[in-house]
Amino acid sequence: MYYHCRPLKYVEYGKIYPPPVETLDEMFLNCYNWIGNYCHFFPQVWLSRSVSSITGYKNNRMTKKRQSYINGNYLKERLDSVMFGFDIIKGFPVSYNYWEMMLMFIPDKKGSIKEINNKIKNELNLILDDCKKDGYVDREILEWEKCRGDFDLFLKKNLFVELDQVVVPSLNLKSAKQIICRDEKQKKTLRRMGFIEDRIIIKNIKSIGN
């Protein structure tokens, strides 16, 4: 099953789209723009495949100490999130582990795709050299070595594989086979929107499908 999570206030009974560009975190804006060069749409709607723990649907029982580190509005939205499960979604595949690695290397300043890719390759080569000096090369960097500097091949074999994430330009929430919410209040709101009651499940847990 494919999972997508979003705050209840952004849920619609029908097709939803990525958030407006101006609302995106500037820290990751260039990252979404970079991957848009490959999937051909920007920004993106993200879904996890099988593993729902990476969607952001978390248990709302948090310590006061932890809550103090999170922006109040962001925390409120996160705790009011709803997760949608779909049988089949045909999207552009993005491996979670390799995407996390790309996030470290893609600069937050604008540049051409060639400039950004050259920067990523340089970073990968530097890490590979350091790993060899230390006598240990982790799996992701070892895959880079196997590709012998061919960055397009590296992306094709490792990042753009359907493993645990896909991105799409839009998503029809009405077609969800499961709608996972936290309490009766959320369930009632979703039912009023038009979602089928038999598909709405109350599960206030840490993760589902993992």
Q: Is the pTM of this model over 0.75?
A: yes
> Beta strands of 21-147 (E only): which ranges?
45-49, 81-86, 92-93
Contacts of 49 (CB under 8 A, 6+ apart): 2, 3, 162, 163, 164, 165, 166
| Residue 13, token pair as written in the block | 């009974």
Q: What is the pLDDT along the chain (210 residues), one digit of tens a residue?
A: 999 999 999 999 999 999 888 888 888 899 999 999 999 999 999 999 988 888 877 654 443 444 444 444 544 555 789 999 999 999 999 999 999 999 999 988 888 999 999 999 999 999 999 998 988 888 999 999 999 999 999 999 999 999 999 999 999 999 999 999 999 999 999 999 999 999 999 986 554 444
CA 60 to chain centre: 20
